[in-house]
Amino acid sequence: MLKIFTIFLFTIMGWKLQGKMPAHINKCILVAAPHTSNVDFLLAMASFYKMKLPVRYLIKQEWLNIFLLKRIFKNSGALGVERSKNNTMVDALAELITTSEENVAVMISPEGTRKLAPKWKTGFYYAALKARVPIVLSHLDYAKKIAAIGPSFMPSGCFKKDMLILKNYYKDITPKFPEQFSLDIYVADENALCTG
């Protein structure tokens, strides 16, 4: 049901696809930005359905325990994550990716909110680093009505340096609500980059 609805919405709104997932990537963290509207999720899911890309997204395990919602979430690609005292979200996500027997692209919106985020959440980066999987960038450009999959890279372990890849990629993208999008991915001196 979600698939039919989102593809219909994508089509009547006049959106187009650009790019595709590199053939050699079986598992990855898929960064979805900008995220300034509820519509972003629906358009993003529609684009991945149209690309035949089996994208997953994270929700709390408790939501999958609710009988009426479990099937809807599961069918749309939701992955339940359990957090315990000894299991951070980064650890849980990395374990989920590495232990999956299937190809898996886990969609993460690092802004963490539709409102203006003073700083992006960094768990997606450290989960990719721990799971040893690439980060693939994707975006919705409302000015051009394009849903795209962009470049991919393996995290080097130098967070500040790698985040410049994201900043450069997203700097010319137009979100639905530009005033609610910030490229302040980290609060730090950009001159103090890793060297090695």
Give the pLDDT confidence score for residue 62 in this predicted structure: 77
For residues 93 and 31, give the distance between their C-alpha atoms in angstroms, rounded to a whole number.
Answer: 14
* Farthest-apart Cα atoms in the chain, separation: 52
Min mean pLDDT across 9-23, 121-135, 178-192 is at 178-192
Lowest-confidence range among 114-123, 139-148, 149-158? 114-123
Q: Residue 131 pLDDT > 90, yes or no? A: yes
Q: Could you tell me if 191 and 164 are in contact, meaning their C-beta atoms sit under 8 angstroms apart?
A: no
73 pLDDT higher than 90: no
- Percent of the chain having pLDDT more than 70? 87
> Judging by DSSP bridges, how do beta strands 146-153 and 135-141 pair with one another?
antiparallel
Angstrom CA distances, 35 to 107, 113, 116, stand at: 12, 7, 9
Is residue 153 classed as helix, strand or coil in its secondary structure?
Answer: strand
Query: Could you read off the pLDDT of 40-67 as tens digits, one per residue?
Result: 988 998 999 999 888 887 777 777 787 7
Q: Out of 1-5, 34-38, 51-55, 104-108, which region has the weakest mean confidence (pLDDT)?
A: 1-5
Instruction: Reduce the DSSP state of residue 186 to 3 states and report it.
Output: coil
Instruction: Give me the residue spans of the domains in the chain.
Output: 2-180
> For 11-25, 28-42, 116-130, 155-169, which range has the lowest pLDDT when averaged over its residues?
116-130
For 91-118, what is the mean pLDDT?
80
In this structure, of 35-39, 56-60, 86-90, 187-191, the range with the lowest mean pLDDT score is 187-191
**pLDDT surpasses 90 at 142:** yes
Confidence (pTM) = 0.85
